[in-house]
Amino acid sequence: MEPRHPSPSAQSNSARGRGQRLPFGDLAPLDAIGIQSDQQHQREPGPDADGGAAAGDQQAVGLALVLLIELLNRTARRSEDIVSRLGVRPLATIPYMPSGGEVLRKRLLKTAVYLTILLGLPAAVYMVHLYYLPLDLLADRAMNMIGVRW
């Protein structure tokens, strides 16, 4: 009785005899299961090693391009620009009105900065006291350095 699935070597022998490709591509059946044959297979080259440097170069070029466009942009942005360039006084200007989201983001940023200062400085002083040198000894050392005594 013939097996339902012929072994890889039986497949390779019959496929090679008929001029067909193996199910493993160009690899020998032993290579497909992890056993190296005497044939040396060439690996496809991987990505370039300096691909990260190229990305950094592209970012620098992009930033330089944005700065160049901004410096060469001669668009009038204020009413004084219109008066100085064209000699025409504008009838009216429309002030910029920030949206509610912009106001909220600005408030949250200010609050975060204030909290960082109010909580971060005492935490930093406590960390110096705890991990470096107690504050009384640190103050005594500083007083000795500048020549002041208690």
0.85 exceeded by pTM: no
Q: What is the DSSP string of 26-92?
A: TS-HHHHTT---SSPPPPPP-S-TTHHHHHHHHHHHHHHHHHHHHHH-----SHHHHHHHH----S-
pLDDT digits (tens, 9 = 90+) for 29-83: 555 565 555 555 566 655 555 556 677 889 999 999 999 999 999 888 888 989 9
Break the chain into its structural domains and give their ranges.
Answer: 98-150
Query: pLDDT per residue over 71-86, tens digit each?
Result: 999 888 888 989 998 8
